[in-house]
Structure 1
Amino acid sequence: MTTAATLVLALAACGGGDDSDDSDDTERGDGGTPAEPVQFRRVLEQTTDACPGPAVQPDPAAEAIACDDEGTAHRLAPAEIVGGVDDAEAAMSPDGGGWTVAVELDDEATTTFEAITRELVGTQQQVAIVTGGRIVTAPVIQSAITDGKVQIAGDLDRDEAEALADALEGAEG
């Protein structure tokens, strides 16, 4: 099942949580989550081409191809943030409209993410959040995020929100 996600107050949905059962040769950390740090990368283009082989976390310094859970391949710029997640928690939306994932970035990631979001407001360019070689969400920037607090919301159910929070928290850098 594909899940659209929105980074509340700042970003609009374009990607989803990854509930696929893909396996790869990536070393795993506690809880079965990827051991490599989460990466924040600009999406350079989307393609309907087939996704390349097993998902492997890309070299952060190089362009990469990664896929979302819908099987859409994205060409990604080098990572602008590697790691930087202090906390990620799933919770029921205060308005009862579904589940959300609250993400807190560390100070360095907050500064970089603010610059990225300020630059991309109104451009329709996406920022992909990549863990385990998969794009877990790739929203379009709607407004700048200045405080390092990102809320991912949409049609997430509890299991999807918890899996996304675990993936982000397990991929802290």
Structure 2
Amino acid sequence: MQRNPLARALVTVFLVVLAGCSGQTSGDSAPGDAPGLGSGPVQARVAVELRPVLSVAEPEPGVSTAPKPDVLVGPDGAVYTLAPSIGDFTRLENVVAEDMRENGGGWVVTIRLPSDSARVFADWTSAHVDERLAIVVGDKLISAPTIMSPITGGTVQIAGDFTEQEAKRLAEDITGE
């Protein structure tokens, strides 16, 4: 039985904005062109939300941490309380699985936002440096990195310990392709 890459992502994925590391985001640079899924505008099949983190708490022993709409358990086991999404991120310019091993990385899923969403993302990250922003795919909190600098290029990467097949599957889960 093959494991769902979203489940694996809960353990290992970090939201990176092109070259970010250690679960933190940094400024933009364009990724290399790579063949893959989503070669044009797509409508996300599952909800892709970018949600401000209001608080983070350690789980209380013996207390259920069942997910609630605004309270999710992160890949680190912490309990995150989230604000509503900062914008509509269901329409995407491109979603592609890319091999970044030549750049010292691994397989990633790169999401290019359309100009209207990219402006929302740029405005929000410019006003919220040093704050955390959660990426939620479906109903799973994938990562909640700290915004280290304004992110103005409209490109987001989900990186982790993905195999090629897992990265492609996550891109397919997002796009429905």
Alignment TM class, shorter chain as reference: 0.5 to 0.7
Q: Distance in 2 between matches of 1:95 and 1:36?
A: 29
TM-score, normalised via structure 2 length: 0.66
**Aligned residue in 1 for 2:122:** 114
Structure 2: which 5+ residue stretches go unaligned? 1-7, 25-43
The answer to whether the 8 Å contact 1:91/1:100 transfers is yes
Q: Using a 3 Å threshold, how does the CA distance of structure 1 residues 167 and 119 change in structure 2: closer, same or farther?
A: farther
**Aligned residue in 1 for 2:14:** 5
Structure 1: which 5+ residue stretches go unaligned? 16-33, 59-63
1:74 paired to 2:80: yes
The answer to whether the 8 Å contact 1:99/1:156 transfers is yes
Q: Using a 3 Å threshold, how does the CA distance of structure 1 residues 169 and 143 change in structure 2: closer, same or farther?
A: farther
Mapping 1:51-66, distance limit 5 Å: 51-53=65-67, 58=69, 64-66=70-72
1:39 paired to 2:46: no
Aligned residues between the structures: 142
Identity among equivalent pairs (%): 32
Which of the two has higher C-alpha Rg? 2
Question: Which stretches of structure 1, 4 residues or more, deviate above 6 A after TM superposition?
Answer: none
Q: CA RMSD in A?
A: 2.7
**1:103 pairs with one of 111, 120, 125:** 111
Give the deviation of 1:75 after TM superposition: 0.2
Q: Deviations for 1:40-62, whole angstroms, at most 9, x for unmatched residues?
A: 11011112224325x7xx4xxxx
